[in-house]
């Protein structure tokens, strides 16, 4: 199975806050660590942190630098390896543009959500698609209370929500990304 063409975008704008307003959330240090480690483990080619706020770009770059070239790189070489796939962009459109140019092929945008909407693509179906056509698949995850509607309008696929046996589904985005990657690329004995 080809996994070299899966990408992740973690969206900080446009997303909802708890009241349903469209806002920009702050980048969280723990998101960078946990999601880059999961992405690196499951063969994701690039993990894009997406925020339009310039100061947040500087914040992310400072963290990356610490673990890639600073004291952290010596103390924890595996973290450096994970951070090597992290990048930061201003908008989802910037990510898609870069991927289209780099990958020289169609970029399939795959939206995710904790709530059901429309006719979702199953993990099984997406796994088979990625395995077959060798295209570039960009999985988009929202922060805050979920991605604003216009992100879904531009998505090619909407992935089935992650559900357990209870009615409760309030996973952290870190958990959701990890589970999604395991469903798509996990090895089972």
80 binds a second copy (CB under 8 A): no
**Strand bridging mode 86-89 / 46-50:** parallel
Task: Give the Cβ contact number of residue 61 at 10 Å.
Answer: 13
User: Which of 10, 27, 34, 152 is close enough to bind a second copy by CB under 8 A?
Assistant: 34
SS3 44: coil
Cβ-based nearer residue to a second copy, 36 or 96: 36
Quick one: which of 11, 39, 172, 31 has its CA closest to 96?
11
Q: Does 83 bind a second copy (CB under 8 A)?
A: no
- Rounded CA separation 75/90 (Å): 31
Among 22, 23, 26, 33, contact with a second copy (rule: CB under 8 A): 33
Q: Does 15 bind a second copy (CB under 8 A)?
A: no
Smallest gap from residue 188 Cβ to a second copy (A) = 6
Element (H, E) at 153: helix 149-153
Closest to a second copy by CB, 79 vs 89, is: 79
Place of tokens 């894009």: 48
Q: Which is nearer to a second copy, 53 or 171 (CB)?
A: 171
Write the CB contacts of 157 (distance below 8 Å, at least 6 apart in sequence). Answer: 108, 109, 110, 111, 121, 126
What string marks each residue from 88 to 117 as x (binds a second copy by CB under 8 A) or -? Answer: ------------------------------
Residue in the block written with tokens 């988009």: 140
Residue 134 within binding range of a second copy, rule CB under 8 A? no
At residue 30, the 3 state secondary structure works out as helix
At 108 the three-state DSSP class reads strand
Q: Does 175 bind a second copy (CB under 8 A)?
A: yes
Residues that bind a second copy (CB under 8 A): 1, 3, 18, 30, 33-34, 37-38, 40-43, 76, 78-79, 81-82, 120, 122-124, 160, 162-166, 168-172, 174-175, 178-179, 181-183, 185-189
């Amino acid at each position: 199975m080809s996994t070299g063409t899966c990408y992740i975008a973690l969206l900080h704008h446009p997303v909802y806050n708890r009241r349903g307003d469209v806002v920009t959330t702050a980048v969280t240090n723990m998101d960078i660590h946990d999601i880059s480690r999961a992405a690196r483990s499951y063969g994701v080619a690039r993990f894009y942190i997406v925020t339009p706020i310039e100061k947040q770009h500087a914040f992310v770059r400072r963290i990356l630098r610490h673990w890639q070239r600073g004291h952290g790189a010596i103390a924890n070489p595996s973290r450096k390896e994970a951070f090597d796939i992290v990048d930061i962009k201003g908008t989802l459109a910037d990510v898609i543009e870069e991927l289209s140019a780099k990958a020289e092929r169609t970029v399939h945008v795959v939206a995710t959500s904790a709530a059901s909407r429309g006719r979702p693509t199953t993990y099984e179906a997406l796994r088979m698609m990625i395995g077959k056509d060798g295209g570039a698949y960009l999985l988009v995850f929202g922060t805050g209370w979920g991605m604003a509607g216009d992100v879904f309008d531009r998505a090619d696929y909407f992935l089935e929500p992650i559900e357990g046996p209870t009615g409760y589904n309030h996973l952290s985005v870190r958990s959701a990304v990890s589970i999604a990657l395991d469903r798509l690329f996990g090895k089972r004995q």
